[in-house]
Chain A
């Protein structure tokens, strides 16, 4: 059977391995067949609700078989899933839902209550509620997951590979998150590419630690769906809990980000635990500190280590062959198969080997654009004029500055703009600054990334206060209230005197950050 869409992957899996366990969640085991039934039930209900191809349906649940079933059901009928991180607060969920005109949303009881009480998204018709707890709100506005069951029509309308499968919200360099539009083709190609270089087979059992709102996390589910392997759903990332899961002995692969590897490595070293039996582990979402990378081979005996790089807009771009881990430790690696990458200057001309340039990528994993943002899409996805004929087609301009060495291996140098990468998540300073500006007394606010051994970068905030001054403790509480946890600055700096400006009168962000970094280094 040829795989064109995500639905095809599930159809084939159910046909070939109906009774094979696919998802393990606590004591619970779900086979491909059982997942297929959950998917059909929810898909049938969606059809009965009048959900048509292209309609957006949100999923905002903790890691669970139901989260996965919901996404696959939405994709099955050609609708578009929008998986919203559980880190978003209710206000952000409402904003994202309104941004994409979401019609239905699957949530837990607490979030359902919050949405019904104050922040109901305009386009939303109903909530589907899954999880423990009572729902407080108008019963006409929600239905329980168990009741959201129906029969699919005999010949349901199915998507084709070029259709939109999902919108994935990610931060851009100005303000509000943008919805990256990913097609079935994008996901299928990425799944095939990744499972190929990782050597995934039906004998793989992966530990799923990363959320499915993150493409990187979703790939663990999709690769195992493609090859007939299995996934242990790990909701809690406390290092002691992860170590316990690895001690089960049946896990063959783990994908994580630096903010998970660093504490996990520390924990294993502290407790003298060595993990055996792991076939491979992967890192993406940021550069892992070299001190941590150096420990990994000793702590995970026999495991192949894959360092990888990608962006939401292209799912995956490069990986470092495990054989090169020692000699090229810390590199991004080389482009994957079926993907083309160049390192170019501002005009799109390839830079000489060894020089700095922006990474541009083209290939079947490249997103269709940003939902509702034609200008931002045209800016991000555009031809590369310096590449001649090849450059006439659409490329994704990553905004990452890299360098290629003599062996064709790419190394990350820095970001083009001021984006912060913390715990594998892209954060726009503007998102934080816009909120902080609502606090009385704030004249200027600069959010920036300070080096952090665990997170890669941690969010910090510099404030220029007005004449009345400013209560930092109050501001800190304000941030906790208004911003999702991961956006809260870990340190606030009150800038004395006026902040420096550039020639055209704009805030000289670079100078502010440099001054603070110098002060930090001096301490």
Chain B
């Protein structure tokens, strides 16, 4: 199951990313485009979608830093 569209919808609706202003591989946290407050809101969304609490070890740039990475992480999480 691909979470890509849910994730993009969340970023646009809740985190203020303008549609068309980003691409799926763009690094969002390490570039500073999204801040730590965006991360907290995003974690709540991810936990809700996955139906479980995330371990802090899963909250890494490798899993969260772009839409592509996050969708891949959620697909197997």
- Where the two chains meet, the residues of A that have a C-beta atom closer than 8 Å to any C-beta of B are 62, 86-87, 108, 110, 132, 235-241, 263, 266-267, 270-271, 423, 477, 480-481, 485-486, 488
Contact = CB atoms under 8 A, between A and B. Distances in A.
Interface string B3-39: 0000000000111100000000000011111011111
A136 to B, nearest CB: 11
Contacts of A423: 36
A140 to B, nearest CB: 24
A419 B42 CA distance: 27
B57 to A, nearest CB: 5
A238 B29 contact: yes
A277 to B, nearest CB: 21
Interface of B: 13-16, 29-33, 35-39, 55-61, 64
Contacts of B16: 480-481
Given A236-B30, A238-B29, A485-B37, A267 B61 contact: no
Contacts of A108: 32
Contact of A267 (B13, B35, B57): B57
A398 to B, nearest CB: 27
A270 B55 CA distance: 8
B55 to A, nearest CB: 6
Top 5 closest pairs, chain A to chain B, by CB: A485-B37, A267-B56, A62-B32, A240-B60, A239-B56
A45 B53 CA distance: 51
Given A267-B56, A267-B57, A237 B33 contact: no
28 contacts: A62-B32, A87-B35, A108-B32, A110-B33, A132-B31, A235-B30, A235-B32, A236-B29, A236-B30, A236-B61, A237-B36, A238-B29, A238-B39, A238-B59, A240-B56, A241-B60, A241-B61, A266-B56, A267-B57, A270-B55, A270-B56, A271-B56, A485-B35, A485-B37, A485-B38, A486-B35, A486-B37, A488-B37
Nearest to A242: B56
A87 B34 CA distance: 9
Contacts of A480: 14-16
Given A87-B37, A485-B38, A488-B37, A240 B29 contact: no
Nearest to A455: B40
A86 B37 CA distance: 12
Contacts of A62: 31-32
Given A108-B32, A270-B55, A270-B56, A238 B37 contact: no
Nearest to B62: A240
Contact of A263 (B38, B56, B58): B56
A237 B61 CA distance: 10
Contacts of B35: 86-87, 485-486
Contacts of B60: 238, 240-241
Contact of A239 (B29, B31, B38, B59): B59
A481 B12 CA distance: 11
Contacts of B55: 270
Nearest to B60: A240
Given A481-B16, A486-B37, A240 B59 contact: yes
A263 B16 CA distance: 25
Nearest to A235: B30
A61 to B, nearest CB: 9
A477 B33 CA distance: 19
B25 to A, nearest CB: 13
A483 to B, nearest CB: 10
Contacts of B14: 480
Contact of A238 (B32, B33, B64): B64
A110 B62 CA distance: 24
Contact of B61 (A87, A238, A477, A488): A238
B60 to A, nearest CB: 4
Nearest to A265: B56
A400 B36 CA distance: 27
A236 B56 CA distance: 14
Contacts of A132: 31
Nearest to B39: A238
A101 B58 CA distance: 45
